[in-house]
């Protein structure tokens, strides 16, 4: 699909991704380098994650490393198979169309079918189907999305809170005995993945990177005597006037800069009177 050749770099362009699924499954959204085509339908979920409210997305460029994370949820009211039916099936179909370097239009259909599993009757079968590596990647991408979209998002607290329902449902423990907590082997590595994710550069160092210039400036200021005044000028804040101001009194900025200081308009008439 993406093999390199003499006349190409293994890239494809102008791609579209469409998802079709059983009526019991709703599409919440997708995380990746794509944009929504706003294709509404019965498979669209009201709970949106990433690029949601659609069943089709536009992909400008694709190669063999392109990957997406799609979120689904199950609508209990739309379950068509009555309880007791042997091996009821569900399906997911991913229809990808793109243009290869030679200008030819290609379409690839990937269909996945699985059977429904009752978590109460077939608990072990449900646990054995858990992919720890894939779940860790999904959690990492979802955490990155929340850090980007939510300003006051505490990634460490959210990841830690997401592990509590998992451990309480699939773990064994005795009340008031923290050392008795054990997880099924199918989940044993997942909690280690989450521990390293909370301490990784994806969660911790991004915020620290934003704070590093201010900390360095504070250290430089405290080493000088007399201690100079340090002003942090953020765009859109009242302190940005220190960057917009000029030494020339004849210069006036065409832009209005809002400040926290008292307006001088009220006292201008008094000054003119005394002059």
Q: What is the pLDDT of residue 106?
A: 94
Is it true that 9-76+88-116 and 118-224 share their CATH fold? Answer: no
Average pLDDT over residues 23-41: 94
Q: Is the CATH code 1.20.120.730 the one for domain 118-224?
A: yes
Q: What angle do CA 266, 269, 271 make, to 5 degrees?
A: 105
Q: What is the pLDDT of residue 28?
A: 96
- Dihedral angle sign, alpha carbons of residues 139, 140, 146, 149: negative
Is it the case that residue 68 has pLDDT exceeding 80?
A: yes
Q: Which CATH architecture has domain 9-76+88-116?
A: Sandwich (2.60)
Residues across the chain = 275
pLDDT per residue as tens digits for the range 82-126: 554 544 889 999 999 999 888 899 999 999 999 888 877 788 888
Reported as a pLDDT band with limits 50, 70 and 90, residue 178 is confident
Q: What is the pLDDT of residue 202?
A: 76
How many angstroms separate the CA atoms of 132 and 72, rounded?
18
Domain definitions of the chain by residue range: 9-76+88-116, 118-224
Lowest mean pLDDT among 50-64, 199-213, 217-231: 199-213
Average pLDDT over residues 255-269: 58
Q: What is the pLDDT of residue 184?
A: 84
Average pLDDT over residues 55-75: 93
Check: CB of residue 48 under 8 Å from CB of residue 29.
yes
How many angstroms separate the CA atoms of 183 and 189, rounded?
9
Average pLDDT over residues 65-74: 94
pLDDT per residue as tens digits for the range 141-175: 999 999 888 877 888 899 999 998 888 888 887 88
pTM for the whole thing? 0.68
């Amino acid at each position: 699909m993406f093999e390199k050749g003499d006349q190409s770099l293994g890239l494809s362009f102008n791609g579209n991704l469409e998802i079709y699924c059983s009526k019991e499954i709703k599409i919440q959204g997708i995380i990746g380098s794509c944009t929504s085509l706003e294709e509404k339908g019965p498979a669209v979920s009201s709970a949106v994650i990433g690029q949601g409210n659609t069943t089709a997305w536009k992909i400008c460029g694709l190669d063999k490393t392109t990957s997406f994370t799609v979120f689904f949820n199950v609508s209990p009211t739309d379950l068509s198979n009555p309880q007791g039916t042997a091996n009821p099936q569900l399906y997911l179909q991913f229809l990808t169309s793109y243009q290869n370097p030679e200008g030819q239009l290609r379409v690839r259909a990937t269909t996945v079918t699985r059977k429904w599993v009752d978590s109460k009757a077939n608990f072990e079968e449900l646990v054995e189907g858990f992919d720890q590596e894939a779940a860790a990647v999904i959690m990492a991408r979802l955490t990155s999305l929340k850090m980007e979209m939510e300003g006051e998002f505490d990634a460490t607290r959210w990841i830690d809170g997401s592990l509590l329902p998992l451990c309480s449902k699939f773990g064994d423990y005795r009340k008031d005995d923290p050392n008795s907590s054990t997880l099924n082997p199918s989940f044993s590595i997942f909690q280690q993945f989450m521990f390293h994710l909370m301490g990784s550069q994806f969660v911790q160092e991004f915020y620290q990177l934003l704070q590093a210039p201010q900390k360095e400036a504070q250290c430089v200021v405290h080493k000088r005597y007399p201690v100079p005044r340090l002003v942090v000028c953020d765009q859109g804040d009242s302190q940005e006037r220190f960057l917009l101001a000029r030494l020339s009194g004849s210069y006036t900025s065409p832009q209005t800069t809002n400040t926290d200081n008292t307006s001088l308009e009220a006292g201008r008439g008094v000054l003119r009177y005394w002059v």
